[in-house]
Homo-oligomer: A and B are copies of this chain.
Amino acid sequence: MSIEQRLADLGLVLPQAIELPAPIELPFDFIRVVGNRALISGHGPQLPDGSIAPPLGKLGLDLGVKEGYQAARLAALSMLASLKRSLGSLDRVSCWVRALGMVNSAPGFTQQSAVMNGFSELILELYGPRRGGHARSAVGMCALPFDFPIEIEAEVLLDE
C-alpha cells in the first residue's frame, strides 16, 4: 500500500507544501537531496492551507503536552508535504534515519519526549518499524521562529 493511501486511511490530509510569495526567495532548501540522502530543514506545524497552525508558544507555559503532541504531528505532515513536492512520491523514501525535535520550552518543562512522540508515532504508523524507525533527540529551546511550539529537522534515505 502506498504511503499516501495510508495517509488517506488514517483520515490525514497533507497541508499545502510551504510556498512563499513570489518575491521572497529563501536562501536554503526545504529538502536537500545529495546522493541517496534527503536532508529535511526544520519544519513547524502547518494547517492544510499552508498557514502556521495555532496554538503557538512555549510548552509548560502556553501549551500542554497534548497540544504539543498535535503540533509535532502537524510538523510531520508539513515535512511529508515538502518531501512529496521535492520527490514526487512519498514512496521514494526507503527509510527514515534521524530526527531532532526542538521543543519551545518554559525552563521547568521536561516532557519533550512525550511531545516529540507526535512526530515519531505518525512516521512509524505510515512507514512501519523497519522503514520508519529513526534515531531521535527531543530537547528544549528557549525560542523558535514564529514562536512555533516545535521545530523538527530530519534525514531520510531514498530508493536509488
Binding site for B on A (CB under 8 A): 27-32, 34-35, 37, 39-42, 60, 95-100, 102-103, 105-113, 117, 120-121, 123-124, 133-147, 151, 153, 155, 157
Contacts and interface: CB of A to CB of B under 8 A. Distances in A.
A4 B26 CA distance: 24
A155 B60 CA distance: 31
30 contacts: A27-B123, A27-B124, A28-B99, A28-B133, A28-B136, A29-B134, A29-B136, A31-B135, A32-B97, A32-B133, A32-B134, A34-B157, A35-B157, A39-B97, A41-B137, A42-B137, A42-B139, A107-B143, A108-B143, A109-B143, A112-B143, A113-B145, A135-B153, A137-B153, A138-B145, A139-B141, A139-B144, A140-B143, A141-B142, A142-B142
